[in-house]
Amino acid sequence: MEDLRTSEAWRIFRIQAELIDGIETLNALGPAVTVFGSARLPPDSVHYRNAMKLARNLSDAGFAVVTGGGPGIMEAANRGCHAGNGTSVGLNIHLPQEQAPNPYQDVSLSFRYFFVRKLMFVKYAIAFVICPGGFGTMDELFEALTLVQTGKIRRFPIVLLGTGYWNGLLDWMRTRMLEEGCIGPEDLDLLHLCDDPDEAARIITTHYVEISKEFPEERRTGSRP
């Protein structure tokens, strides 16, 4: 029992160390866009190409791009940003099947704890872009929706890139969640659906111009309430 208590106490220090490292490393990052999507999609996928183009547009507009640091869509977004003017950030995670960091990261952090990494994803973001992905991508999507819906973070664009992939989910949200009263009509307005990376970038840059006027003293901050 004593060993267990000691182990749990030291875990708190490890968590604290990850928080401090993340905040100290990213605090001067400036406005950032977090991009999520599958680690399994190859470079010849249209979703990979769209994520790379979107990230290049954002990077050239002066935004940092943050991803989970791995392959697939994460690599595509880091790659697009790395080729432009912005800072390409990878927030890597230790997994049983070790994730290899992609080579397109200007800033690379490694996390043991998912929840600390999740905080870093949202803390400096002025928007989320959700590309096609699996369970982890869905987790980040619905967590962002919950945080905005409940007012825990300031409202920001949550862009679903790829109508063919996301339409079925949105149809289910309308016909089941909305019709049965589990969400309100205004909750669906939190999502922006598009196919064009240029359109996605415009949604984000327009939002940033608006919040810069409303909160000029916080021009460099992300979604902190």
Residue ranges of domains in the chain, CATH in brackets: 2-218 (3.40.50.450)
* pTM of the complete model: 0.92
Positive/negative CA dihedral, 89, 77, 53, 220 = negative
Confidence of residue 219 (pLDDT cuts 50, 70, 90): low
User: Does residue 10 surpass a pLDDT of 90?
Assistant: no
pLDDT in tens, 139-177: 999 999 999 999 999 999 999 999 999 999 999 999 999
73 vs 39, 48, 224, CA distance in Å? 6, 5, 26
What Å distances lie between residue 76 and 27, 153, 187, 221, CA to CA?
24, 27, 30, 25
Contact 37, 135 (CB under 8 A): no
Chain segment 35-49, per-residue pLDDT in tens: 999 999 999 999 999
Q: Measure the CA–CA gap between 128 and 106, rounded to whole angstroms.
A: 20
Other CB atoms within 10 Å distance of the CB of residue 50:
25
Tokens coding 18: 């990850």
